[in-house]
Amino acid sequence: MKRVLRRLLSSAMAAVLVAGMCINASAFTYPSSYWPLHDQWATVSAGTDAKAIVSLAQKIYDELIPLGMSYDVCGNLEVKCAKASWACEVTGDIAGAITWLERQLTMAKWLNANGHGYKDTLLDGNARMAYLKAAQSPKIYAQSDTDPSPYAYGPKNGTWYGTALGHDQPGESAALMYIDFNDGYSVEYWIDYYMNTSENFYDAANGGVIELAWNFHPEGTAGCQAVLSADSYIQEGVRAMAQLDATILLRVGAEMNNWSDCDPTTYIQAFRKVADAAAPYSNIQMVFSPGDISNRNVTIDQFYPGDQYVDWVGMSTYQNTNYLDVYGNPMSYSLSGTPASNPYYGTGVYDYDPMVIIKPIVDLAKSHNKPVMISECGFGYRNYGADQTAYAVDQLTKFYSYVNMVYPQVKAVFYFDVDLDSSRYDYSLNGNSAISSAYRSAIDNNGAYLAQGQTSAVGWEELSQTKLSDTGTLKLASYVSFPGVKNATVQYYVDGKLAATVSQAPYYYNLNTAALSAGEHKIYVVASGNQFKQQSGTYTLTVPGSTKPVVQTPSSWAEALIVDAQSKGLITERTQGIYQDQITRLQFAELAVNLIEKATGEIIVAAPDNFTDTDDIMALKAVAAGVTSGKGDGIFAPNTPITRQEISVMLNKAIQYVDAANGTSTLANTSTVIDSQFKDAASVDSWAVESMALLTNNGLMAGKDGGISPKVNTTVEEAIVLIRAIYDKF
């Protein structure tokens, strides 16, 4: 509930971070070659040319990093790396943004470890890294019958869900009640009160699930100390809970990592005292439940009471802002800075994906093998009087759609169905028809939430885990996360052909597997929004009735080289296990595109589809990179075996692309005359002479039977070995 207060600190923190960038004078002497770059930086970094910023930052990095880690080197480079990372993010280069952020964090870690106060830079940088990595990896999920939960607690299938008592939403499988610790009334009193005033509580108390939030009063060390001296109240309270025919999820002293005054040791003692009192009662399960964002001076694991005392890891998480900056304008990217955007607090351009901010707590639960509970969540549709219904609908829809999909550890979700006073936030589902409708729609469409009396539901798994036993409709969803993008455009491709375009999260698509032939099918998505465009990995879905093709092993001469190419990520799915087959134009185009992306760290954006015989994204990426333009007249000929001279032209174009991107010169021998040793040199078509000469003169392409064999086709393994040789040259 304190998230808004924390967010108000972000502007102040920005000023602190800027101050931390200043470099003090020292006895360190920069090499003379550095100073021209230094002089350029002042002008270039203040400009709007992102490529120039990154290029100059790289030159300075290359100049200083060999000098070793010191205050002067790290303090200097931390600023440059930060600016380069931001420049990459502004232009949609996520891989570049990650690379430069990793470098920035390396500098900041050294500076912080050596007493220069970069803790806040590390907190914000690590939080931003989580957003960038989420943006880098779109994923596809499939709805299916999943394996039983591996946890000792919680439902074996599906997700419990409920709301705070007060409005009694129908059909829920759980209820949330609050009790202030030692508030002058017994726990039994409150149980009786809700039994007589809340239908949802009555139903939950008779065979259902109740989250009982036992809040410390006052919050802080004093509240923890009060727990330590309340033996009889605690014993009477847990006995009253044990009398209910219900599973009690006992949340003790929630959001402790946000309290202004809380000694972790005292908190742990208080939690353990309650846990020990509850231990004899099998229906009571203990919930350790911090807030989603910690006070910057503490970490969540400082308060963790220990595995023997904790049954669930919970959290409170709220979304209350509305994609606007401090001036009420929509957030947008600018090279001039990131006003009102703070990844640690999830504000500004980092306020579009509610999944990223909860990941650290999910990771904590995973490390302790505990199920996760969203102890309370809310999406304010009124923010200090301002209406922000559209924002709340979007955030609620994403949260309830994705939380148990992206994080299958989440086995219970509770909504804070309450309005605070009129000067703060409104969360009540009954108070806003759009919010109420979004809540119900997200739960119903997700399919994994357990309704009242229901003991089993479908689940979600990443598509790579899906094994079809029959055909029909397979419901898919894509998790796409781009900073500053409310809803992306997501294109589903099945076997290289565009199957569907979806523009609303969670990007559902019903795949008709009955219309697919028996055998393996390749599925991926291409997601785009604002400056960002990313492709997911390619998923293989096997439709029943197929016989898996025999996998070919490499020839003995190529075996070690193929293994090395595999380790370097140079073999694509299309070329895996078919090593003796003749390689096609599309297969080789994919190898060339993959080579470029591996060598540059860039994701090539596909060109418009102007072919009549394919719309495969790899063909379109090859065109965009200038590797090929097809055969002419709108023909790509994707399944036609490729010739050695066509391969030479494609590879020469790929080398040119990488050299331009990386500022390198790969081919030392620039002669464009084919060596006379090749007896069939005259048979090379004029358009391929230069490329074949460059590759053979640099030892990248060998002859064949005394000739250069320009019109001969090649095998997949020969092509992979060639790709590997060029990659090693970069």
pLDDT in tens, 671-692: 989 888 888 888 888 998 999 9
The mean pLDDT of the chain is 90
Q: Which two tokens stand for residue 66?
A: 């060999």
pLDDT at position 339 over 60: no
pLDDT value for 384: 77
Spatial separation of the C-alpha atoms in residues 386 and 274, rounded to whole Å: 41
Taking the alpha carbons at both ends of the chain, their separation in whole angstroms is 52
pLDDT at position 20 over 50: no
pLDDT value for 422: 64
pLDDT value for 327: 55
Q: Is 645 helix (H, G, I), strand (E, B) or coil?
A: helix
Query: pTM value?
Result: 0.75
107-to-35, 89, 283, 335, 338 alpha-carbon distances in Å: 20, 19, 50, 22, 21
pLDDT in tens, 497-509: 899 999 999 999 9
Spatial separation of the C-alpha atoms in residues 534 and 212, rounded to whole Å: 43
Q: Which segment of 455-469, 548-562, 685-699 scores lowest on mean pLDDT?
A: 548-562
Q: What is the mean pLDDT of residues 408-423?
A: 88
* Phi, psi of 75, rounded to the nearest 5 degrees: -65, -35
For 57-112, where are the E strands, in sequence order? Answer: none
| Residue-wise DSSP of 129-189 | HHHHHHHH--EEEEEE--PPPSSSSS-SSSEEEEEETTS--TTBSEEEEEEETTSSS-HHH
More confident residue, 293 or 423: 293
Spatial separation of the C-alpha atoms in residues 537 and 569, rounded to whole Å: 13
Contact 692, 674 (CB under 8 A): yes
Residue position matching structure tokens 């808004």: 4
pLDDT value for 9: 38
Give the residue among 160, 684, 673 at the shortest CA–CA distance from 457.
Answer: 160
Q: Is 484 helix (H, G, I), strand (E, B) or coil?
A: coil
The DSSP output letter for 300 is: G
Question: Any idea which fold 460-543 has?
Answer: Immunoglobulin-like (2.60.40)
Residue position matching structure tokens 């304190």: 2
Domain ranges of the chain: 3-136, 159-447, 460-543, 559-729
pLDDT in tens, 311-330: 999 999 999 877 765 556 66
| Residue-wise DSSP of 438-460 | HHHHHHHHH--EEBTT-----EE
Q: What is the mean pLDDT of residues 56-73?
A: 96
pLDDT value for 14: 38
159-447 has the same fold as 3-136: no
Contact 379, 395 (CB under 8 A): yes
Q: Is 396 helix (H, G, I), strand (E, B) or coil?
A: helix
609: confidence class by pLDDT, cuts 50, 70, 90: confident
More confident residue, 55 or 708: 55
Under CATH, which number does the domain 3-136 receive? 1.25.40
pLDDT value for 5: 38
Give the residue among 595, 599, 556 at the shortest CA–CA distance from 575.
Answer: 595
Q: What is the mean pLDDT of residues 287-312?
A: 96
pLDDT value for 423: 62
Contact 489, 528 (CB under 8 A): yes
Question: Any idea which fold 159-447 has?
Answer: TIM Barrel (3.20.20)
Q: What proportions of the chain, in percent to the nearest 5, are helix, strand and coil? A: 40, 20, 40
* Phi, psi of 126, rounded to the nearest 5 degrees: -65, -35
pLDDT value for 11: 37
